[in-house]
Amino acid sequence: METEILTNTQIQAAANYLAQGKLVAFPTETVYGLGADATRPDVVKDVYAAKGRPSDNPLIVHVSGPDMVWEYADNDYKTLATKLMDEFWPGPLTIIMPIQPGKLSKAVTGGLTTAAFRMPNNEVTLNLIKIFGKPIVGPSANTSGKPSPTLAKHVYHDLHGKISAILDDGPTKLGVESTVIDLSVDIPTILRPGMIDSEDLLKVIDNVNSDHHKVTATEVPKAPGMKYKHYAPSAQVIIVDDVNDFGRAISEYAAKDVPMGIMATDEVLQNVPTDIETFSLGKDVLSASRELFAGLRQLDNDHVKYILAQGFSDEGHGAAYSNRLNKSAGNAHYKN
Ligand code: TXA
Ligand code: MG
């Protein structure tokens, strides 16, 4: 199958593919998603196959607005969910709620009685869903286990030949996936940290728990995605938490005499020897979040064996970056 690259004005062509039961990658403000008709189990199964994703890991249902949600979700959750939707939609917040029995297939929910809903903040994709007229499922449009795609070319690299089209809308603005909040439990619980943090959420709801700890293989995870190895480049990533340690860390790894790469802010990169591969994370944790996945992919293309990556505080907006970087590093931190 040829994978067609569509410009951001070819929305109708993308909608036509979806109507034919084909897979189309779509832009969002977080990362690119792999779109398919959420109401057709046969088509949703193709999404798992294209990504190589375990089928017990449920998918996000992307909608063009709250009305679409209430055709599927349990309407008892309307009051609570509407507070969040009013404040944060369209935006990087995925809301998990119980669904009306039989309204979404097992292929979407992984057999759970809940589903995840999100209205992305991207005009092209909102128009696509409106024109298509039905919700679309969308995991991140990468091969399962690889860094999520923040550019159309990342999607092409992983999925060309396996999907019909990619709707290209340039680089994604945030770079890390949405915050996932579960409303189906007594206290709303963050299952995956994103750019909307608990402090933001507490402005509109009374109480929020965090549950994005590392899930062991035998534990039944609340967000099944948490149990899989994620965001892993081929290189070993080592997190350097204190920028003052970079000099020493670089000397140590340089002594191993294998190619290495450094991912850090411009300030840190100023002092890195010119013969070492580098990737700029910009100036702060926001630019670092935007660039993280592209950096992991870039340094992988350069065939480095080790990546020394700058750590940031995991407070507030740093929570998402730290969570993804820790996963890509298998929690390996530089110790001097
Ligand atoms: O920013 C994003 O959320 C991107 C863009 C494309 O929208 N999508 C994304 O999808 O990251 P995905 O499939 O890579 O991650 C969805 C996460 C997974 O960890 C999954 O296990 C969890 O949400 N999830 C989905 N439905 C769930 C449910 N009913 N209960 C618990 N967790 C659920
Ligand atoms: Mg993903």
- CATH number, domain containing residue 99: 3.90.870.10
Q: In this structure, is residue 76 part of a structural domain?
A: yes
Final residue of a domain: which of 208, 227, 246?
Answer: 227
Average pLDDT over all residues of the chain: 93
The pLDDT score that the predictor gives to residue 211 is 73
Per mean pLDDT, which range of 32-36, 51-55, 265-269 is the poorest? 51-55
The pLDDT score that the predictor gives to residue 223 is 56
Q: In this structure, is residue 147 part of a structural domain?
A: yes
Among 47, 48, 94, 122, the mutation site with the greatest number of ligand 1 atoms within 8 A of its Cβ is 94
Q: Is 33 touching ligand 1 by the criterion CB < 6 Å? A: yes
Q: Is 97 touching ligand 1 by the criterion CB < 6 Å? A: no
Strands (E), 104-178: 114-118, 136-137, 165-168
Q: Is 30 touching ligand 1 by the criterion CB < 6 Å? A: yes
Are 220 and 261 found together in one domain?
Answer: no
CATH number at residue 257: 3.40.50.11030
Are 154 and 64 found together in one domain?
Answer: yes
Calpha distance 302→289 (Å, rounded): 21
Q: In this structure, is residue 270 part of a structural domain?
A: yes
Give how many domains the chain has, as a whole number.
2
Average pLDDT rounded to a whole number, residues 158-181: 98
Q: Is 120 touching ligand 1 by the criterion CB < 6 Å? A: yes
**Does residue 40 register a pLDDT over 60?**
yes
Identify the band that residue 225 occupies on the pLDDT scale cut at 50, 70 and 90: low
Asked if this assembly's ipTM is beyond 0.90, the reply is yes
The pLDDT score that the predictor gives to residue 215 is 39
| Residue in 153, 160, 182, 117 with CA at minimum distance from that of residue 27 | 153
**Does residue 212 register a pLDDT over 70?**
no
Are 247 and 137 found together in one domain?
Answer: no
For ligand 1, atom 30: residue with the closest CA: 223
The pLDDT score that the predictor gives to residue 232 is 79
Q: Is 116 touching ligand 1 by the criterion CB < 6 Å? A: yes
pLDDT greater at residue 94 or residue 233: 94
Are 151 and 299 found together in one domain?
Answer: no
Q: What is the pLDDT of residues 311-333, one digit of tens each?
A: 999 999 899 999 999 999 999 99
Residue 301's contacts (CB-CB under 8 Å, 6 or more residues apart) are none
In the block, tokens 């589903």 appear at: 115
Are 203 and 302 found together in one domain?
Answer: no
Are 66 and 159 found together in one domain?
Answer: yes
Residue 67's contacts (CB-CB under 8 Å, 6 or more residues apart) are none
Are 221 and 280 found together in one domain?
Answer: no
Q: In this structure, is residue 336 part of a structural domain?
A: no
% the chain with pLDDT above 70 = 95
Final residue of a domain: which of 227, 254, 287?
Answer: 227
Q: Is 147 touching ligand 1 by the criterion CB < 6 Å? A: no
State which ligand 1 atom lies nearest to the alpha carbon of 191.
32
Q: In this structure, is residue 304 part of a structural domain?
A: yes
Q: N- to C-terminal Cα distance for the chain?
A: 50
Are 281 and 132 found together in one domain?
Answer: no
Final residue of a domain: which of 227, 252, 268?
Answer: 227
**Does residue 216 register a pLDDT over 50?**
no
Calpha distance 221→297 (Å, rounded): 28
| Burial annotation 89-102 (CB, 10 A radius, 16+ → b, else e) | bbbbbbbbbebeee
Average pLDDT rounded to a whole number, residues 120-139: 98
**Does residue 76 register a pLDDT over 90?**
yes
Q: Which residues are annotated as a binding site for ATP?
A: 53, 57, 114, 118, 140, 148, 192, 231
| Cis peptide bond upstream of 90, omega within 30 | yes
Average pLDDT rounded to a whole number, residues 86-99: 98
Pairing of strands 114-118, 93-98: antiparallel
Q: In this structure, is residue 334 part of a structural domain?
A: no
Cα 239 to Cα 83, 158, 323: the distances in Å are 37, 25, 12
Are 253 and 171 found together in one domain?
Answer: no
Calpha distance 335→136 (Å, rounded): 44
Q: What is the pLDDT of residues 230-283, one digit of tens each?
A: 777 889 999 999 999 999 999 999 999 999 999 999 999 999 999 999 999 999
300 within 8 A of 146, measured Cβ to Cβ: no
For ligand 1, atom 3: residue with the closest CA: 178
Classify the C-alpha dihedral 81-82-85-88 as positive or negative: negative
Q: In this structure, is residue 50 part of a structural domain?
A: yes
**Does residue 221 register a pLDDT over 60?**
no
**Does residue 220 register a pLDDT over 60?**
no
Calpha distance 325→308 (Å, rounded): 11
What residues pack around ion ligand 2 (CB closer than 5 A)?
Answer: 140
Average pLDDT rounded to a whole number, residues 62-87: 98
Domain encompassing residue 74:
4-227
Are 105 and 200 found together in one domain?
Answer: yes
Among 24, 60, 99, 105, the mutation site with the greatest number of ligand 1 atoms within 8 A of its Cβ is 60
